[in-house]
Amino acid sequence: MEIVLYNTVAIVTGMLVTREKKEKERHLNTARSLEKSLVELKQTKQDLLQAEKLSAIGQLSAGLAHEIRNPLSSIKGAVNILAVDYPPEHKKHRMLKVLDCEADRLNKVLTAFLSFAKPQPLQSTRINLINKVEEVIGLLKMQAVSANIEIIRDFADSPPLIKLDEGQMGRVFLNIMLNAMQAMPDGGKLTVSIKKAILDKKEGLQLNIGDTGCGIKPEDMSDIFNPFFTTKSNGTGLGLAICYRIIKEHQGNIKITSRPQQGTLVSLWIPIES
């Protein structure tokens, strides 16, 4: 009798424990999926805010930029006329040079800004991403050699062709690689890798650009995509804002992780069909 009782208790306890375990697992799963949704929601909110910010700034300042262009060309014209009275040997000629250079610099910022404020529609074609990336590396090769920067490639064998706007995406790669190089004034390693990657069940290519440079301060991380945020004396702060917009227009993704004094990794994901 006692044995039967013991067995019954054991079986019931066992059943209860299994049920409790299952219940716990179910709760854990729910918690996990809720957590995932929260992360996704936060990302969407951030994307929306960023898009709103960019579009407001873009609209406001496109007109302003045009208004600045005209007086700038008048200033450049006046400099040329004054150069007759102040030839290179004159001690005030240096001042004219300052005027001329600063007007050029403003013009450069303005050009970058206008291309940012007035997004061009995508003109996508199907290309081999490796060729495009090689083309951009080609533009930077000489600069890398003289800055003592080693470029390391890690490309997947024959990745699938990808549909994107070559001109705009080329600018993204150039901006990011330039940032990487500017972060390594005393030399270092620039690593570029391309591999296939699935994101949200969509097939795409992941392009990672890593450097061993100065890194980004944790407190700056939330600002780096904002237009005009720069820590460089001659920066425009438009590079990453433009990259962000172009990547989002391609339905892609950009993620930056960084460690001060160690380096920065920019991960781009672009869908094969955008």
Ligand X SMILES: Nc1ncnc2c1ncn2[C@@H]1O[C@H](COP(=O)(O)OP(=O)(O)O)[C@@H](O)[C@H]1O
Q: Which residue is nearest to ligand X, using beta carbons?
A: 239
Residues 146-185 touching ligand X, rule: CB under 6 A, are 175, 179-180, 183
Cβ closest to ligand X, residue 6 vs residue 228: 228
User: Count of CB atoms within 10 A of residue 250's CB?
Assistant: 23
Among 191, 212, 264, 274, binds ligand X (CB under 6 A): 264
82 vs 112, beta carbon nearer Mg ion: 112
Q: How far is the CB of 132 from Mg ion (least distance, A)?
A: 19
Residue 263 or 271: the one with the smaller Cβ distance to ligand X is 263
Question: Which parts of 215-244 interact with ligand X (CB under 6 A)?
Answer: 215-216, 224, 229-232, 235-241
Q: Which does 213 bind (CB under 5 to 8 A by kind): Mg ion, ligand X, none?
A: ligand X
User: Residue 27, interface with ligand X (CB under 6 A)?
Assistant: no
Residues found near Mg ion in the complex (CB under 5 A): 179, 239
Which of 140, 214, 254, 268 touches ligand X by CB under 6 A? 214
In the complex with ligand X, the residue whose CB is nearer, 206 or 264, is 264
Residue 229 binds: one of ligand X, Mg ion, none (C-beta under 5 to 8 A by kind): ligand X
The CA distance from 235 to 71, in Å, is 23
Q: Report the interface residues with ligand X, using CB under 6 A.
A: 175, 179-180, 183, 211, 213-216, 224, 229-232, 235-241, 264
